[in-house]
Structure 1
């Protein structure tokens, strides 16, 4: 089959994105040995810093291998007519548009999962194991993968099924109905993610009565934040890395602490971390991110509706018979540069929000325990203390540690 202009545009997009990504990775790797800022001189001792550098170098080399494999496979698949072959294979099993689309994406999802599994396994049981982070039993690793696949097939399949129905019923206006449906779904997930999805993978238990709970509740009252749900999640069954997060809103809002966080930080530091999370809620960051996410989804669906019926989009990935599923794949590849731009904007806003949440914690609780908690968390995760500014601009949703500490001490 003769290759179209859009086909070579897609090849160009893939190559440019890969080269830009690798340039940023290279620049960031060059900074691994940069002088540590004075504010962070107490995070690592000499041996720990060497271990941190080794961990970052290992991940950098692994990224070169995994990213290179992904690009090479995608290019070969496109150049050899892989999507045309997959389209014909799918049509040999079924004829209906709905069934064909669902089966086609089922094959794509299953194939990508199998290809990614060895890399995920190596990352978990070789790299993370070597540096003392991994606590995941192999049985749990594969069970997580299986649960994730089933959840994706059920939820993703249901959403895709409705998409096709909207498209068949309303034609080019399908994007409006799809947007409404996805908006409702995003709201639902934000409300009930911790109640419905998290229990499939982790055990959540209410924080026990005691000094820590009293300190958290005392702070919440002082900050004017109604808090009834404080949970502890068993993150230690997979990793030694610590975290805490805020989810939901209204009556469904809750604070979740990893058990590793409780083990790594003292009481004031935990309250400071929670004060930061409360800051996101009080400064309306949660609502803002939700609204922007829904608006960006609507924008993407509208652009999709303009091109989904164009046969050239299907031909762009080498599929000779235009279809809804081939159009979706072609559009996703062609739209990816716009996604990169919106991602840059969202990361920029996210970094500003992190500073605002830090300021809230400083003003309503204290700066010092938040500084010490950030240092401990960075130390325990062997994080990069000297990232390259360009890498931060593109990839970081949180400001580098030194910038957060300088802001807190200002």
Structure 2
């Protein structure tokens, strides 16, 4: 390679990211056995606390192993010609830029997923099973994989094809058309995700009439929130862990309650959780996050347009001939530090938004009920209640439980 600068940058980024991840995980693991803060001391009894310790250590060891495997796989592929081998294969199969790119990325993503399949199996059927979380059957596990691959082929393939077509048609300005297409797609997914994607994996049933539904409707009327539809998802099909979320915008808003949430929480606690989600809408956090996501995508595509025609960038991953798909892969790795920085900013804002949504739930419904819900969910999920501040800063989109409780009591 005549100009190895980009190759050295790519290797440096991969090594730096692996070392940083390993360090943060180690620092976080050292705090597993720290005394629980006063605010969360009543979450676990002695037996549950010991179980949570074992769960966190199992997750830490598993995460270290999978991170090392992924790092060595990527580095080995880069240094020993793996990308070049796949590139040569797809060039023999097709002459078109779009089919070559689809085959190239399809082979990489499918191959990577297959190589990581034993890890996913072990995590689901050994670790999660050992601690009582797993409800997934083998049939569901593999069917989920097939459905995910199908979505990747259809949705990812269409978006990648559109981006390459814009590149060949519009040249340096391709990023504007690609940005517009992805922005429309992002908006449509926010509107119709629950109607189009969720049913592929889970059943959704309307929440039955009763005191819970009446309580939710009364609260929504009190705060002037256009409720939309309330559905129950069969989350227990895969895990005992509970969840709830809002999706959609405008008239497409939908509340989704996991059946595990209905089992774990009292009715006032469920309403408090939903009041928190309503707070995100009332404070316009949902719109902000959507706009920020679209803006960051535009930034990435603009920077890509400045580098995509650089043959040295494409050949830095070891391929014999420059191409759009090779440049896109090299750019993706080189851009990852920028993504880390923007991710840190978004995480910081997200934690701030969580405090605001908690305060909204406290003011409009009950801080006590929300506190009880958060404690129960943390207990049932064996959550880490003593995370390292650096780990929180880098990875947490929600504040630690103790900080949320302090905020609710303030």
Same fold, TM-score > 0.5, yes or no: yes
1:257 and 2:241 equivalent? no
Counterpart in 2 of 1:139? 139
SS of the equivalent of 2:197 reads helix
Q: 1:66 maps to which residue?
A: 66
Pair 1:379-2:409 in alignment? no
User: Displacement, 1:38?
Assistant: 1.2
Q: Which residue of 1 aligns with 2:219?
A: 219
Say which SS state the counterpart of residue 173 (structure 1) adopts. helix
Q: Report the equivalent of 2:409.
A: 409
Hey, what's the Cα distance between the residues in 1 that align with 2:281 and 2:267? 21
Judge which range, 90-99 or 278-287, deviates more: 90-99
Is the 2:11–2:75 contact (alpha carbons within 8 Å) kept by the matching residues of 1?
yes
RMSD, matched Cα: 0.8
Contact 1:347 1:395 in 2 (8 A): yes
| Correspondence for 2:43 | 43
Distance between the aligned counterparts of 1:14 and 1:275, measured in 2?
42
1:29 aligns with 2:29: yes
Structure 1 residue aligned with 2:350 = 350
Separation in structure 1 between the aligned mates of residue 187 and residue 332 of structure 2, nearest angstrom: 24
Matches within 5 A, 1:4-403: 4-403=4-403
Q: How many angstroms does 1:75 deviate by?
A: 0.8
Identify the range of structure 1 (279-288 vs 79-88) with the bigger mean alpha-carbon deviation.
79-88
Query: How many angstroms apart in 2 are the aligned matches of 1:123 and 1:185?
Result: 32
Give CA-to-partner distance per residue, 1:236-279, whole Å, 9 cap, x none: 00000000001111000011100000000001000000000000
Give 1:3 shift. Answer: 7.0
Conservation of the 8 A alpha-carbon contact between 1:58 and 1:127: yes
Do 2:228 and 2:252's aligned partners in 1 also have CA atoms closer than 8 Å?
A: no
Q: 1:3, 1:318 within 8 Å by CA — same for their partners in 2?
A: no
Deviation at 1:44, TM superposition (A): 0.4
Aligned equivalents of 1:170, 1:337: Cα separation in 2 = 28
CA positional deviation for 1:39: 1.4
Unaligned runs of at least 5 residues, structure 2? none
Deviation for aligned residue 1:97: 1.3
- TM-score norm. by structure 2 comes to 0.99
Deviation at 1:98, TM superposition (A): 1.6
Contact 2:52 2:384 in 1 (8 A): yes
Q: Deviations over 1:189-229 (max 9, x none)?
A: 00000011000000001100000000000000001101130
List runs of 5+ in structure 1 lacking aligned partners. none
Residues 131-183 of structure 1: CA deviation (Å, up to 9, x unaligned): 00000011000000000000110000011111111011001110000000000
Structure 1 SS opposite 2:136: coil
Partner Cα distance (1:315, 1:158) in 2: 25
Distance 1:170 1:228 in 2: 42
1:320 Cα deviation (Å)? 2.3
Q: How far apart are 1:96 and its partner, in Å?
A: 1.4
Bigger shift: 95-104 or 180-189? 95-104
CA distance in structure 2 between the aligned counterparts of 1:71 and 1:135, rounded to whole angstroms: 30
Q: Secondary structure of 1:383's match?
A: coil
How far apart are the structure 2 equivalents of 1:120 and 1:312?
A: 36
Distance 2:98 2:222 in 1: 55
